[in-house]
Amino acid sequence: MRLPRALVTAALATAFLVGAGHAPQAVAGELPADTSFFTDPDSQVNKWVAANPGDSRQPRIASRIASQPQAVWFARYSPSTVTADVRKVTSAAASKNQVPVLVAYMIPNRDCGGASAGGAPDLTAYDAWARNFAAGLGSGSSIVILEPDSIALISCLSSSELSARYASLARAASAIHAASPKARVYFDAGHSVWNSASVQASRLRSAGVLTSGDGIYSNVSNYNRTANEVAFAKSVLGQLGGSGLTAVIDTSRNGNGPAPDNAWCDPHGRKVGENPTANTGDPAIDAYLWIKLPGELDGCAGAAGSFSPDYAYELAG
């Protein structure tokens, strides 16, 4: 995720200032416990299930994975269509009285050049993309998972590149709130066996979570058990001190916990975790969500983001 030198113009900065005054409005447990999350009929798993009715793996994948609401990722750089692409999801969710979970995954040089490398060509382009993304959210409720790994994984950034990234994340969140007041924006907290809670909280502050965010998320694309992630998220929130922020946890692949060797890239023996729900029983934790899509690969058993019915079948077991 090494960033090019930021070239944010004065006009662009002015445009983002429309939402720059947003302060977190959430109170603990604000997301209603009976929230119904969006199930995307166009997801890779749903398309596979529909196309393979005779496959012996199909019933298990259909009942255990395809039936559950999952996030919709915006990971391919298409600035001219992203508004319409987002609007398609939010409109479909609104028609079903469901809340969509959308993942904005376009920060320049994401994943520090790893298997999920890519993103916008520079921060100027990213800022424009974020505005276009926000324009499709509409007036209904939504959850935005803002740039997985963008705050936890910064080892490839210089101090100036890091400052530029943090500022751009804050601008993106403010643009989302300005365009869609009912959107809830969650910032990257990594996970419980990565950075310490104090380190992650310091980075989150620098990225503007206290003025531009509604909460934090942890365990995206990872396998740590829910109890450990809840404790970690609460520790991060505690470090942020009385902010009113809350957290969501990715439980899409943590049913068996982490692999024995802590392998993270398509390890075998993993299972899906708790089904997506806002009824967590904990006022600090807004929801358990399936953010990483079960069956979509990390980049070792196949191309990152591609769907593997074999892996899905294993996870669903």
Cβ–Cβ under 8 Å, residues 128 and 79: yes
Question: How is residue 293 written in tokens?
Answer: 């899509």
From 40, 214, 266, 298, active-site residue: 298
Catalytic site residue 42? no
Catalytic site residue 55? no
From 40, 127, 149, 266, active-site residue: 149
User: Using CA atoms, how far apart are residues 176 and 117, in angstroms rounded to an integer?
Assistant: 24
Active-site residue list: 111, 149, 298
